[in-house]
Amino acid sequence: MTIKMLRVLGTTAIGLCLVLGTALSGQLVMASRAGLLAQDSHSPVLLVLNKSDNALAIIDPRTFKVLATVPTGVGPHEVAASADGHLAFACNYGTGPAPGNTISIVDIDTRKELTRLDLGPLMRPHGIAEAGGKVYFTIEGSRAVARIDPATRRVDWVMGTGQDGTHMVVVTPDQSKLYTANIAAGTATMIRLKPVQGAEAIAQIQVGKGSEAIDVSPDGKEVWIAHRSDSGMSIIDTANDKVKATFQTAKSPFRVKFTPDGRRVLVSDPMAGEVVVYDATSHQETKRIKIGGAPVGILIQPDGSRAYIALTQANKVSVLDLSSMEVVGTIDPGREPDGMAWAK
């Protein structure tokens, strides 16, 4: 392992540059997938992490049936699928005072955990996103973000944010920038993934207390970040990384998601038991939907037809039709569903 300390804007960033092909620790469990990888297509599946079950549920989105349940590490919170739809990456956050430091890599086709990637001293992996064939994730307990190369199933890059509570992460569509929501610091961190001469490599953007929910618009021009402590929403202009608008939103905005066409934004509000819908241009509220519980996680189907809403306390996932704006189904994935992903 090669460690390079970086000092950015007067703040010490953890800039760990890990040599490709070097494991953080432990022996990877390799599984043969030759026959499966030869298949160019397979049916999409919905992935749901169940925190109390320490498991990943693989679900048929046509029938809402659980096809398989795969054990993960303790307290899995967020999940992402590889670009080819064959692998799932589950962040094992841990529970209570016992922090997790592993990521479960699951073969979706064989429905087995291939390896539990040991992150060594990097504690509490949480938010995760696939972009440009790589998988980026936050390490809340270590105030950092990192990246996995699905081809090698190893971490190949780590970068410090210098901010407390680095929780959720998004990457712009052109893969030029990464943004995190830092709950305790009340900030968003921008990290430039593609160097630009004369431009800042990292920037801290003050937003609001309890900044947690975050998403980037499909055109990459805006990042919306909600702050639970003051019920506010900040909109960051990605051209200059400054807040260009703020407004009051749901009582306790937990997650925020753009629809694929960029026209609407959904915000989950567990305190009100609602999903609140906004016009992405005017920032005006257009709909409040009672969801049958306390909504937390939101996943929108790639074709924009449905949203899946995790009701962690009720052990349910509600299926919301985005044309009628009505709940059209319920999924029973397991105990305490939270993070979700779509594997094509």
- Give the model's confidence band at 39: pLDDT under 50 very low, under 70 low, under 90 confident, else very high: very low
**Given this model, what pLDDT does residue 33 score?**
40
Taking residues 40-58, what's their average pLDDT? 90
User: Closest Cα partner for 162 from 205, 127, 131, 110?
Assistant: 205
> In this structure, are residues 305 and 44 in contact, taking their beta carbons and an 8 Å threshold?
no
Indicate whether 13 pLDDT > 80. Answer: no
Higher pLDDT, 33 or 175: 175
- Residue 67 sits at the vertex; the CA angle it makes with 59 and 322, to the nearest 5 degrees, is 20
User: Closest Cα partner for 234 from 192, 275, 265?
Assistant: 265
pTM for this one?
Answer: 0.88
- What's the pLDDT tens digit per position in 192-207? 999 999 999 999 999 9
Count CA atoms within 13 Å of residue 34 on its CB side.
1
**Given this model, what pLDDT does residue 9 score?**
34
Indicate whether 12 pLDDT > 60. Answer: no
> In this structure, are residues 205 and 236 in contact, taking their beta carbons and an 8 Å threshold?
yes
**Given this model, what pLDDT does residue 193 score?**
97
Tokens matching residue 79: 């999940």
CA distance 206 to 245: 13
CA distance 36 to 54: 26
- What's the pLDDT tens digit per position in 114-152? 999 999 999 999 999 999 999 999 999 999 999 999 999
3-state secondary structure the chain: CEECCEEECCEEECCEECCCCCCCCCCCCCCCCHHHHCCCCCCCEEEEEECCCCEEEEEECCCCEEEEEEECCCCEEEEEECCCCCEEEEEEEEECCEEEEEEEEEECCCCEEEEEEECCCCCCEEEEEEECCEEEEEEHHHCEEEEEECCCCEEEEEEECCCCCEEEEEECCCCCEEEEEECCCCEEEEEECCCCCCCCCEEEEECCCCEEEEEECCCCCEEEEEECCCCEEEEEECCCCEEEEEEECCCCCCEEEECCCCCEEEEEECCCCEEEEEECCCCCEEEEEECCCCCCCEEECCCCCEEEEEEHHHCEEEEEECCCCEEEEEECCCCCEEEEEEEC
**Given this model, what pLDDT does residue 26 score?**
38
Indicate whether 250 pLDDT > 70. Answer: yes
**Given this model, what pLDDT does residue 315 score?**
98
CA distance 293 to 313: 8
**Given this model, what pLDDT does residue 234 score?**
98
Strand order in 134-139's β-sheet?
Answer: 2-3, 16-17, 154-160, 144-149, 134-139, 125-131
Q: Average per-residue pLDDT in the chain? A: 90
- Give the model's confidence band at 215: pLDDT under 50 very low, under 70 low, under 90 confident, else very high: very high
Indicate whether 163 pLDDT > 70. Answer: yes
Indicate whether 25 pLDDT > 50. Answer: no
**Given this model, what pLDDT does residue 63 score?**
97
**Given this model, what pLDDT does residue 30 score?**
36
> In this structure, are residues 11 and 187 in contact, taking their beta carbons and an 8 Å threshold?
no
Higher pLDDT, 34 or 186: 186
User: Closest Cα partner for 336 from 29, 72, 18?
Assistant: 72
- Give the model's confidence band at 19: pLDDT under 50 very low, under 70 low, under 90 confident, else very high: very low
**Given this model, what pLDDT does residue 276 score?**
98
- What's the pLDDT tens digit per position in 50-90? 999 999 999 999 999 999 999 999 999 999 999 999 999 99
Indicate whether 94 pLDDT > 50. Answer: yes
Taking residues 208-219, what's their average pLDDT? 97
**Given this model, what pLDDT does residue 34 score?**
37
- Give the model's confidence band at 29: pLDDT under 50 very low, under 70 low, under 90 confident, else very high: very low
Which domains does the chain possess? 2-248+338-343 (2.140.10.20), 249-337 (2.40.10.480)
